[in-house]
Amino acid sequence: MTHSMAQFMRRCSSRFRPRVLAAALAGVLAIAGSAQAAEPDLPGFIHDGTLTICTNPTLPPMTFVNGNDVNAVDGIDMDIAHRLADYWHVSMVVTTMDFTGLFPSLAAQRCSMVASGIIKLPEREKNFDAVSYQDTALVVVARAGTPPLSSMADLSGKTVAVQSGTSYSARLAKENETLVQAGRAPIIIQQYPTEDQVVQQVLIGRVFAFASQDVELYYRQEQLHGKVSVILVPPYPEYGHFALYIRKNAHDRELLDQAIATMGQNGQMAAIQKKWAISPDVAKALANTSPAPMFRWDTFFSALTSTAFMRGAFITLAVAVLSHFTAIMISIPMALALNGRDSLLKMALKGYVSVFRGAPTLLQLLFIWNALPQFLPIFREAWFTPFLATWLSLSINESAYQVEINRAALGAVDKGQELAGDALAMSRRQVYRHVIFPQALRIALPPTINEFISLLKTTSLASVISLQELLAVTQIQVARTFEFTEYYAAALVYYLAMVFFFLFLQKRVERRFAWADRHKATANES
């Protein structure tokens, strides 16, 4: 263990004492108040006997996927949530999503509570109620061997990575104001969507340091093989507690406070802390680590053959195929209308195409998932799953692109073909079904396959609304193990395999269009 790490341990040891005093006090009050009532009062955020937890499982040991099953979220937060559910005699459901989606989801009433290793901050308490459950401290971490700093001002001019959506960047910005006033260079802040990427920036040497919580670092020590060390524990009292967040409600807040206090009193909290080894004596055992190999083939192959990756790939494929199919179905009548005479409908369709081609796909996904429920409460119900939301947004989005392909393809079919169909007494429907569409299909197929391949990869955006597609699964595994290269390589293999399969399919289908090529048609016939 490095010198700085040892120093850090000493400084932090006092912080990990559970909030025994507060807990005991609250517990006594609770017992006195309820007079040994068997059933505690149920908070308003519990619906249908279910405590729904929103979490971003990429912050071990608070909340993370501890194994190959991406649906099994584990960690201190989850254990606490389980104890809370037991306390209220209700069941518990976990919804995982991108960090930036947590608070919008809480606001949209998609969950009862956000439990995701989030710091108790006055800014957040303006909009939500917070109940703290675990003491912590902010730490600044750099590669092993970096000499410790004496104050935040020493970071002047250096690059620091933080997880986006967290409050660290705001805190560093405040630090920068002081630096700039003193005529010094500010800290350069880089933000990454997941904590593991933040750490990776330090490991690969792109940034000087990252800001994180001490609790997390304990857990990371094992994976990081002593590659990082704490260089500074800035005196930020406001970073002292992890908290559970609920929608503003004084009564609910009080009930949650009581529940946490009771857990502190009856030893449940201490058991959880022991289980997750967030105490300095455990850290010592982790000091003896050997350097990691460059590429672990066993990790790569086990990822490749894991049900988690197969399931992720299946979800990616399913949502892409369904979305594109729906998009094509919507876009054919749209293309016919757009190729037709001017009308109000045509103007509306032009607007539709402009809006959905213009807006970023990510924004559309976030809008449908987080904003739509605020207008239409029906979309916050359980049936509206991340899968359905992704299907809906990608269908709409893709149809705006597909309609242009269809329009061009339909326009490219010789006008004489329609005339010939008419002259042969065929109905409008028959002309389109048997004459126009088969010819337009040949023209539309290559750009459509192109679109599909693009869409297959666009599905990875849906991790922000908690769809467990291939890339989300990969990131969760990386957050757990820090084996970037192995899991990225496994994901790459899956994506490439899917894309090559569709390119192969395209070739097969194109062979059926031999009629368009004189030489091929001759060859086929013989």
Partner 1 sequence: MNPDPKTMPDPSAMISVRNLSKLYKDFIALDRISFDVQRGEKIVVLGPSGSGKSTLIRCFNRIEPHDSGILSIDGKIINAQTDLTQLRATVGLVFQNYNLFPHLSVLDNCTLAPRLVKKTPRADAAEMAMRFLQQVNIAEQANKYPIQLSGGQQQRVAIARALCMQPEVMLFDEPTAALDPEAISGVVGIMNDLAQQGITTLCVTHEMGFARHIADRIIFMDKGRILEITPPAEFFTTPKTQRARDFLDQMISY
Q: Which residues bind partner 1 (CB under 8 A)?
A: 414, 416-417, 419-427, 430, 434-435, 438-439, 442, 513-518, 521-522, 525
Q: CB 441 → partner 1: shortest distance, Å?
A: 9
356: its two tokens: 């959905």
Residue with Cβ nearer partner 1 (369 or 432): 432
Residue with Cβ nearer partner 1 (142 or 435): 435
Residue with Cβ nearer partner 1 (434 or 507): 434
Residue with Cβ nearer partner 1 (123 or 525): 525
Residue with Cβ nearer partner 1 (174 or 428): 428
Q: What are phi and psi of 462, to 5 degrees?
A: -70, -5
Q: CB 520 → partner 1: shortest distance, Å?
A: 10
Q: CB 409 → partner 1: shortest distance, Å?
A: 13
Where on the phi/psi map is residue 394: left (φ > 0), alpha (ψ -120 to 50), or beta? alpha
Residue with Cβ nearer partner 1 (298 or 342): 342
- Burial class of residue 109 in the structure, from the number of CB atoms within 10 Å of its CB (0-12 exposed, 13-18 middle, 19+ buried): middle
Alpha carbons 30 and 46: distance in angstroms, whole number: 20
- 251's enclosing H/E stretch is helix 250-265
Q: CB 339 → partner 1: shortest distance, Å?
A: 19
Q: What are phi and psi of 119, to 5 degrees?
A: -75, 145
- 161's enclosing H/E stretch is strand 159-163
Residue 139 pairs in a beta bridge with: 212
Angle, in degrees to the nearest 10, between helices 470-481 and 307-339 = 150
Q: CB 430 → partner 1: shortest distance, Å?
A: 5
Residue with Cβ nearer partner 1 (34 or 522): 522
Cβ 299 vs Cβ 309: under 8 Å: no
Residue with Cβ nearer partner 1 (435 or 490): 435
Q: CB 333 → partner 1: shortest distance, Å?
A: 22
Within 8 A by CB and 6+ apart from 56, the residues are: 63, 96, 97, 98, 99, 101, 102, 116
Could you please report the per-residue DSSP string of 213-224?
Answer: EHHHHHHHHHHH
Residue with Cβ nearer partner 1 (440 or 465): 440
Q: CB 448 → partner 1: shortest distance, Å?
A: 17
Alpha carbons 489 and 209: distance in angstroms, whole number: 26
Say how many residues make up the chain. Answer: 526
Alpha carbons 137 and 233: distance in angstroms, whole number: 7
Q: Of 268, 260, 274, nearest to 218 (Cα)? A: 274
Q: CB 420 → partner 1: shortest distance, Å?
A: 4
Q: CB 444 → partner 1: shortest distance, Å?
A: 13
389: its two tokens: 């939301």
